[in-house]
Amino acid sequence: MKKAASAHDPRVQAILAGLAAAYPNAECALLHRSAWELLVATILSAQCTDARVNVVTPPLFRKYPTVADFAALTPELLEPEIRSTGFYRNKAKSIVGAARRLQEVYRGQVPADMDALVTLPGVARKTANVVLGVWFHQAAGVVVDTHVQRIARRLDLTREEQPEKIERDLMRLLPQSEWIAFGHRVIAHGRQCCLARSPRCPACPIEPLCTAADKTVGRQAKPTVGPKPRSAPKAAAGRRPRSSR
């Protein structure tokens, strides 16, 4: 069995350095002015592009500027405002539920604590890591979205499939000082280069370090499988082949 990578693996260090050089200014693309706005935007970003979320949230926050404003809503009132982000019914329930819990338990303030954040409706570790890392600058874990999930497996940084197990592997493998930046850089890499269906491997800054099975460069053509074609029988020496009539 292939040995798993370790925190001191030169290849892992080279991956980190390559991503840092390629995406030195990578950051969260969601528009926000507070921890609450970032929390809402991250909930809305599930199965939706950041670009679409950034169209929806500015007018949403102008209409409902505080946590208390959202807590006073019913999910049904919020649904039309966020419909274009998809899964709007579940997202509306999560946002209103999170606002109400913040009002009831945390005096309307988003807590800077992982254990507290994941008690909010609609908030799992990915969303909590976004809020803690981006707003509070706390490296409590590694953001594992669909890009990080895909690329971590392609780079053989994990063999797990579930986000929380992937995060555990990455937390073991990467220095804590890299946890926040790694998430931003891998997400940028997933959007610009390491696409899900047609990865742009020739343009990849860390392509020599990648051993993914679906790479589009560096693969040799497999030999044709099947029986060899039969050659025509040779005529016996000294005899002319008989012609058919």
| Three-class HEC string of the chain | CCCCCCCCCHHHHHHHHHHHHHCCCCCCCCCCCCHHHHHHHHHHCCCCCHHHHHHHHHHHHHHCCCHHHHHCCCHHHHHHHHHHHCCHHHHHHHHHHHHHHHHHHCCCCCCCCHHHHCCCCCCCHHHHHHHHHHCCCCCCCCCCCHHHHHHHHHCCCCCCCCHHHHHHHHHHHCCHHHHHHHHHHHHHHHHHCCCCCCCCHHHCCCHHHCCCCCCCCCCCCCCCCCCCCCCCCCCCCCCCCCCCC
pLDDT at 217: 81
Mean pLDDT of all residues in 195-205? 95
Model confidence over 98-153: pLDDT tens digits?
999 999 999 999 999 999 999 999 999 999 999 999 999 999 999 999 999 999 99
- Whether 242 shows a pLDDT value over 50: the answer reads no
Which of residues 242 and 13 earns the better pLDDT score? 13
Mean pLDDT, the chain, as a whole number?
90
pLDDT of residue 53: 98
| pLDDT score of 216 | 87
Q: Is 126 a catalytic residue?
A: yes
Positions of CATH 1.10.1670.10 in the chain = 10-26+142-203
Confidence of residue 51 (pLDDT cuts 50, 70, 90): very high
> In this predicted model, what pLDDT tens digit does every residue of 212-240 receive, in sequence order?
999 988 653 333 334 444 554 554 444 44
Active-site residue, from 145, 169, 215, 234: 145
Write the pLDDT tens digit of every residue in 167-195. Answer: 999 999 999 999 999 999 999 999 999 99
Decide if pLDDT at 1 tops 70.
no
The predicted structure's pLDDT at residue 120: 98
Is 145 a residue of the active site? yes
Which part of the chain is CATH 1.10.340.30?
A: 35-134
- For domain 10-26+142-203, the CATH class is mainly alpha
Question: pTM for this one?
Answer: 0.85
For the chain, give the percent of residues with pLDDT over 70. 86
So what's the pLDDT on residue 104?
A: 98
Superfamily (CATH H level) for 35-134: Hypothetical protein; domain 2 (1.10.340.30)
Q: Tell me, what's the pLDDT at 225?
A: 36
- What integer pLDDT is reported at residue 172 of this predicted model? 97
User: Of the candidates 66, 72, 63, which has an alpha carbon nearest to the alpha carbon of residue 37?
Assistant: 66
pLDDT greater than 90 at residue 2:
no
Cα-based angle 157, 14, 178 (whole degrees, multiple of 5): 70
Q: At what angle do helices 163-173 and 125-134 cross, to 10 degrees?
A: 40
Of 9, 50, 63, 126, which residue is the catalytic one?
A: 126
